């Protein structure tokens, strides 16, 4: 079973849910907007995927942060984790936990390949 992390009302999440369901892949959903996200999980993602992948700088949440808040978040991993916990909308969506690691973002071909593994 897969575990998918994100925010329910997100277009990328909807596509990911649809792809997993269409391919008959069981999953558990963790809505970090409602359930929160812990520092250990974020640290694991940052180490596995890198800050450039986990941090969504393209969204409105990032643009709404002041320059000082953005600089603070980018200063080091500890401060980035603190910022991501406070503003979970800054986390790339979805993040899918698989048996072999993590997949950030939605790519239809990548999700289709999960059926064959």
Query: Of the listed 4, 10, 55, 103, which one is catalytic?
Result: 10
Q: Does the annotation count 10 as an active-site position?
A: yes
Tell me the DSSP string of 14-77.
HHHHHHHHHTT--EEEEETTTS---HHHHHHHHHHH-HHHHB--SSHHHHHS-HHHHHHHHH-H
Which residues belong to the active site? 10
């Amino acid at each position: 079973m897969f575990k998918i992390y994100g925010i329910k009302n997100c277009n990328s999440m909807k596509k990911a849910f649809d792809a997993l369901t269409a391919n008959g892949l069981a999953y558990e959903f963790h809505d970090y907007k409602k359930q929160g996200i812990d520092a250990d999980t974020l640290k694991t993602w940052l180490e596995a995927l890198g800050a450039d992948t986990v941090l969504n700088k393209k969204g409105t949440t990032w643009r709404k942060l002041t320059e000082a808040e953005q600089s603070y978040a980018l200063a080091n991993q500890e401060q980035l984790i603190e910022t991501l916990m406070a503003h979970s909308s800054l986390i790339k969506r979805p993040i899918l936990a698989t048996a072999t690691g993590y997949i950030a973002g939605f790519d239809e071909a990548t999700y289709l390949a999960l059926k064959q593994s």
